[in-house]
Structure 1
């Protein structure tokens, strides 16, 4: 890069800053910028296209093309060369625009006379805002220096757009971060919440884009990078005795912090006239754009490391710190790309709702959100780039919909929905202490699922008759190291104490699949849901299972104890796991510790194979609990994490209900106690059908107990059982329509 070209670049940015400082309307600024760029780069045409919606670009300013085409010329994403730049995020530099693949002639612009074409994306931190184009009559390609200079200018335009410099009439020039936006995601935890945005990783605001003194900016960058390196080294020394995965991440941080290429590129950006902050953001935008195009998981993780490091560097440069000075609102809705269980627990019940760009319905965050009864929507694409701290937001966890900065009409409808839900909750409170007894006199036991001490107060407030499932893995997932036996024993003892004599079913460690311990080496499996998980891990690594069983025995301290092994697929696995329990009991007896007053050991029926186990297995277990979430996905061969298929198959499909009814009949024959645990147990219509086929114990999240009890108290199970069998005999695929018609007459 020549010194002369650096000077020219700084001159162009200096003139841009003067335009930014003018007291002018947004359209005037855009017009001035296109004229300025055309003059500085000695081209006949300069045009700026901005998105008017996520699929449509609009010509918003031009020097050289027909001015009447401004705000009239529009193109779809991927349409023409401009649309290709916007869709791919890649630069197009060609001497023969009309002959280039994808070229689209737009008569209203008068661009047929121009052969040379250079289009660069206008983007900020991976968010595509538009396209900046220069064109020439002569058939020529632009030099690397010219391409680089236009990229720098495009980055400044993106920052100016972010700061509201181009607000004008029309959707393409509407004020950013001020318009209502609807996000359609996936429901991971039901419920509705209204509040204000709290960004887990707050955006650093950069206002000084162009440098007055490049030498001073270089010094600022070098000082900040040195602070960053010292901080990373300090983290490494602190974590020297920690786990290998954490060390690998920090080593990657140190590698990037000491990267000469990264530093050189930022220094070149400053040489062209950018401030130190703008130079960091330019490189961060490039990394984020690449992140969206890389399919390799390892490379994506490394680019994510660089992105995080850039955020740290920006905070050092701006002095804005981790929270950028913002104060958490009283009704926070947490917005994040993703979040770990420990971080989520740090927020606790202060959160009204959670919205993630990534995640899965079985993720650690989803498990904690369910435990805390916080509405959660995942797969809300791009919400972290659109939302600002303090923005009003509505979260509809039932539909997987998020309204950011909603208008009054939407707010009113949402308020009515929440009022109806609150009214329903009041009616449920009136039957809290009454039994879930049907019109035909059948008594259904309703229990709650839990995984945290914070869940236990819901035992009384919900009217649950016990804990049908206590997920013990959460205590392993939220730590960076294996918990000690004494810690677990104390926790389990507090759970038993809080239950005040009500039965608590402790499920042993259910890890693997989508629940990988942060301190345990991950196993690369082609299909983790069908792989090395739950009791399979426990039997192959018996040390952890024995430690957990001993902790449970000590927690009982002579009181009744109920333990359940997850994901048992055949009798031999249960027999081996039960043998480990017997060994733990014998060890505790030898050590002189009190043994449980009574002990029940059961299994979760989550695989179709266990439904066909020999009668001896059904006689051997003290109880069975159907794990509906896993059992349904294996029955239908439909991955519950796959959005393309997970909603395709209905629980009330006659095949699945027949399968469940066969399990109920087998348990009745062998006198084996049976319950149903899972999301469907907490859905009133599904719960009523499960009770109708003979299930007399259901376990669900606490908030579902009221609605389920309410519907059970108004139905006759013998009538519903007849409807289910009649529907099946008539050859229908699902009993839902017939059941819904019956219920409409009862509710």
Structure 2
């Protein structure tokens, strides 16, 4: 059999070799018409099956909390919310009652209509929620009597191959026998990506035709997530080369861990802070274990998503205190809400936008919903005495937005002081540079804040007018293109001229292949996923700032 090399998107680093295990998720549904005298009984069967489905999801959530983190478990809450959705239940019951369809047939039609609706939306975040409904469909129809595909028995060194994987499917697999995940669908923000990184499993997504390429189970396969490659039926030369790479990576990982708590300093003495990105308090431990010197991005939107009501001020304060306390005086940059039409809340209906990435999101949304932002700012200031708090506003494009946000913060501070609440005096205020207009006018913004943090993901997509969720324009994700580097260079120079710190918290910051350009730019700190810290530190410690600066200069010119 000929070796086949497929290209995808590497979303969880590492290299693995094993045997392909194909996960086919199709459920065959019996289309049975029922008699009028069976309706009541069939409706009860549906309700009973739905309750079993809810219990099954709750059991997987409990497992997720134990094995990964609350953030990953929160993804599964979306399934639970849908299973309990009164509108969905009513639609299925109406089909059973009015159209005389058996429970499995009725449920399949309702859920399929939801999937079709989401697949036709322009919003990439909502399109990716199709996986949630598809997984709920599979679980519910299996319970209701749909014919489930035969379960695959996993052996040691299994590489899971699937069209797509929902979080419940991923967590239900025996991780002790899995070395990698590969899917035909999915992007950088898909469930497979999020959970693979949390579980420490190499993963490549968006590999069209990989199921057909494998042809069946137990085919030898190599997953090179570092280079976004999948090799089906590798030849002896490829196997030998990758066996050596895997062995070297294991040795390097052990060696890197020994230096986890050493500073990142170039050969000629330039020190660069290495901080971590987190989504909840549970991730602080991993950040510290990998040598994080601070939290460069706390994505607070996860506190608001996949639930049925807004988190209270007290609940938010408690979470912020946990993180600040755990970091023991190290800087903690907490980004205010980055919500909007691209990240929806089930309890806060938002207007559908044609281009949500450029619509009413982040600070634009929060300045429209001022009370929402004020509650968060109150919680942050109440927690400020527990550590070294840095507050950061996202998606600032013009000075008027920054002034309005600062006014709200000033109001909240005055109200709390008037109520006798103790607030730390050293709270720093910053903004994200992720809109090209903000980068170009960085010198004007620098006098208004204590620090900048460059959000490379959005800065790159806005610079090239290319949706980073769209695989058709994936080639325009060019972090070291001179256009991007010039914007970053201008921002760094403006910040340092004003005497303020400047860091970066996007994917670019954690990609060690960008190390030379990042070092040369003179950034004060880089913030990334905890798993990327050790590799980036290695690159910094074996580099020269002077040489990196010269390389950057040649690219810019």
* TM-score after normalising by structure 1: 0.59
* Aligned partner of residue 89 in structure 2, secondary structure: helix
Contact 1:558 1:597 in 2 (8 A): no
1:189 aligned residue: 12
Query: 1:377 and 2:194 equivalent?
Result: no
Segments of 5+ residues of structure 1 without an aligned counterpart are: 1-170, 172-178, 267-276, 730-747
2:47 to 220, 227, 230: 230
Contact 1:204 1:324 in 2 (8 A): no
Distance in 2 (CA, whole Å) between partners of 1:481 and 1:200 is 35
Query: 1:254 and 2:93 equivalent?
Result: yes
Contact 1:448 1:467 in 2 (8 A): yes
Query: 1:708 and 2:536 equivalent?
Result: yes
* Aligned partner of residue 577 in structure 1, secondary structure: helix
Contact 2:392 2:431 in 1 (8 A): yes
1:681 aligned residue: 509
Contact 2:515 2:536 in 1 (8 A): yes
Contact 2:49 2:143 in 1 (8 A): no
Distance in 2 (CA, whole Å) between partners of 1:711 and 1:554 is 39
Contact 1:451 1:474 in 2 (8 A): yes
| Structure 1 residue 640 displacement after superposition | 1.3
2:304 aligned residue: 476
Distance 1:378 1:307, change over 3 A: closer
Distance 1:574 1:346, change over 3 A: farther
Contact 1:563 1:600 in 2 (8 A): yes
Distance 1:332 1:457, change over 3 A: farther
Distance in 2 (CA, whole Å) between partners of 1:555 and 1:290 is 41
Which structure features the higher share of helix residues? 2
| Structure 1 residue 458 displacement after superposition | 2.4
| Structure 1 residue 625 displacement after superposition | 0.4
Distance 1:477 1:669, change over 3 A: same
Query: 1:648 and 2:476 equivalent?
Result: yes
Distance 1:218 1:489, change over 3 A: same
Contact 1:677 1:699 in 2 (8 A): yes
Distance 1:693 1:540, change over 3 A: same
| Structure 1 residue 454 displacement after superposition | 3.3
1:507 to 327, 331, 335: 335
Distance in 2 (CA, whole Å) between partners of 1:504 and 1:402 is 38
RMSD: 5.0
Contact 2:267 2:542 in 1 (8 A): yes
CA displacement 1:375-413 (0-9 Å, x = unmatched): 443334577898999998754333434567989887665
* Aligned partner of residue 489 in structure 2, secondary structure: helix
Larger RCO of the pair (alpha carbons < 8 Å, separation 6+): 2
Distance in 2 (CA, whole Å) between partners of 1:698 and 1:678 is 9
Distance in 1 (CA, whole Å) between partners of 2:96 and 2:492 is 61
Distance in 1 (CA, whole Å) between partners of 2:262 and 2:504 is 21
Distance in 2 (CA, whole Å) between partners of 1:723 and 1:661 is 13
2:187 aligned residue: 360
Contact 2:517 2:551 in 1 (8 A): no
2:70 aligned residue: none
Distance in 2 (CA, whole Å) between partners of 1:704 and 1:556 is 28
Query: 1:588 and 2:416 equivalent?
Result: yes
Query: 1:494 and 2:322 equivalent?
Result: yes
CA displacement 1:128-151 (0-9 Å, x = unmatched): xxxxxxxxxxxxxxxxxxxxxxxx
Query: 1:523 and 2:523 equivalent?
Result: no
Contact 1:603 1:623 in 2 (8 A): yes
* Aligned partner of residue 436 in structure 1, secondary structure: coil
Greater C-alpha Rg: 1
2:276 aligned residue: 448
| Structure 1 residue 632 displacement after superposition | 1.1
* Aligned partner of residue 457 in structure 1, secondary structure: helix
Distance in 2 (CA, whole Å) between partners of 1:232 and 1:683 is 46
Distance in 1 (CA, whole Å) between partners of 2:533 and 2:348 is 36
CA displacement 1:192-235 (0-9 Å, x = unmatched): 356788999966699xx9xxxx99x999x989954543347879
Distance in 2 (CA, whole Å) between partners of 1:584 and 1:368 is 37
Distance in 1 (CA, whole Å) between partners of 2:118 and 2:198 is 34
| Structure 1 residue 521 displacement after superposition | 1.8
Q: How does 1:561-710 map to 2 (within 5 A)?
A: 561-613=389-441, 615-648=443-476, 650-710=478-538
Distance 1:421 1:513, change over 3 A: farther
Q: How does 1:163-562 map to 2 (within 5 A)?
A: 184-193=7-16, 225-231=42-48, 246-258=85-97, 260=99, 262=101, 296-297=120-121, 312-317=140-145, 353-363=180-190, 366-367=193-194, 369-370=196-197, 373-381=200-208, 395-402=223-230, 414-512=242-340, 514-562=342-390
Distance in 2 (CA, whole Å) between partners of 1:348 and 1:566 is 39
Segments of 5+ residues of structure 2 without an aligned counterpart are: 56-77
CA displacement 1:640-693 (0-9 Å, x = unmatched): 112222223532222322222111111122112111121111222312212212
Distance 1:534 1:430, change over 3 A: same
* TM-score after normalising by structure 2: 0.76
Contact 2:320 2:383 in 1 (8 A): yes
Distance 1:456 1:612, change over 3 A: same
Distance in 1 (CA, whole Å) between partners of 2:24 and 2:409 is 45
Distance 1:556 1:328, change over 3 A: farther
| Structure 1 residue 257 displacement after superposition | 4.2
| Structure 1 residue 605 displacement after superposition | 0.4
